[in-house]
Amino acid sequence: MVAWVLKGMAKAVASLPRSWAMALAGQGGWMLAHAVRLRRAYVLETLARCFPEKTEGERRAIYAEVCRHQALNVMELMRHAGGRETELSGLFEVRGREHVEAARAGGKGVLILIAHIGNYALLALQVSRLIGYPLSIIAKPLRNGTLNDLWWEMQRKAGVNGIPSHNAYRASVRALRDNGLVGFMLDQNRPAGQGVFVDFFGKAAATTPGLAVMSAQTGAPVVPVFIHRTPEGRHVVEVRPPIAPPSDRQAETIRDFTARCTKIIEDEIRLHPEQWLWWHKRWKSRPAGEAAAPAAT
């Protein structure tokens, strides 16, 4: 029943002219920011720590834009699900595609470093078409079972192989051996016992070492790929130069590589702070002896 309702809503918003749909999403973002105030106190506190040079007014504006951009993201995903794939495909521009070609030349596949910036979910559905090679994505299943099933169905239709994060290693290695692309999110909090602590905006953040370990073990280079929305409503995909795999699998080497990749993500967020998912409790896990972060509000 829920799936039927969601599919009906997707068809409905897909039937609207794009300008109307995006205006509606903008109003939804305004409601999130000014009426619902979703995790407002938490986000503003986090922004104050990460961007001390910005005024309170500037940080409030970033928060409002975070809400607007996430609403726009959801609207575009619904239009995609409702049959507007061609319309959305025409909004993309790719810069640096040659870096993927260079990375694949080694024949060991490519690990794609991605983050929750811009419309990252729509990017996942477009990568195979934009880059020209099959994509597998390592991701946590969504908590809502119905939404999870719909999302994985959308990925399959887009030619994306979804790999559940709890059993990702073997499937990822198989994809890399076929010289494919494997997407890896690195900007999510990990339980303290499952991650390494690296600097992220000046504060230790528990981060999965999985990307570094997989790169070291398979010899696959890492290529950062990020997306951001332009003021005109288009999407620019930036492909960065390949990063050579870690030289070994020693703990210090893995930590340094993870820190390097995390810094790349931070630098990208600083370019477009309003387009990162600040609602996520990135610093929730704390090193031994340090108090856990308070619950988000």
Is the model more confident about 80 or about 167?
A: 80
C-alpha to C-alpha distance for 190 and 216, rounded to whole angstroms: 20
Query: Would the pLDDT of 292 be above 60?
Result: no
For position 67, what pLDDT does the model report?
98
C-alpha to C-alpha distance for 134 and 166, rounded to whole angstroms: 21
Q: What angle do CA 167, 172, 177 make, to 5 degrees?
A: 145
- The three-class DSSP label of residue 204 is strand
Give 193-243 pLDDT, tens digit per residue. 899 999 999 999 999 999 999 999 999 999 999 999 999 999 999 999 999
Give 260-286 pLDDT, tens digit per residue. 999 999 999 999 999 999 999 999 999
Is the model more confident about 160 or about 48?
A: 48
For position 42, what pLDDT does the model report?
97
Is the model more confident about 48 or about 128?
A: 48
Query: Would the pLDDT of 28 be above 90?
Result: yes
Percent of the chain with pLDDT over 70: 97
- What tokens were used for 258? 């993870």
For position 221, what pLDDT does the model report?
98
Which residues are within 8 A (CB) of 17 and not within 5 positions of it... i.e. 6 or more apart?
none
Q: Give the count of alpha carbons within 13 A of 259, CB side only.
A: 13
When pLDDT is cut at 50, 70 and 90, the band that residue 129 belongs to is confident
**DSSP states of 124-192 as a string?**
HHHHHHHHSS-EEEEEPPPSSHHHHHHHHHHHHHTTEEEEEGGG-HHHHHHHHHTT-EEEEE--S---G
Percent of the chain with pLDDT over 90: 77
Q: What angle do CA 273, 274, 277 make, to 5 degrees?
A: 90
* Helix, strand and coil in the chain, % to nearest 5: 50, 15, 30
For position 53, what pLDDT does the model report?
97
C-alpha to C-alpha distance for 279 and 269, rounded to whole angstroms: 14
Residue 219, CA distances (Å) to 111, 133, 222 in order: 10, 19, 10
First to last CA, the chain: 31
Say if residues 139 and 146 touch (Cβ distance below 8 Å): no
C-alpha to C-alpha distance for 165 and 145, rounded to whole angstroms: 16
Give 142-193 pLDDT, tens digit per residue. 777 778 888 888 888 888 888 887 778 888 999 999 999 999 999 999 998 8
When pLDDT is cut at 50, 70 and 90, the band that residue 293 belongs to is low
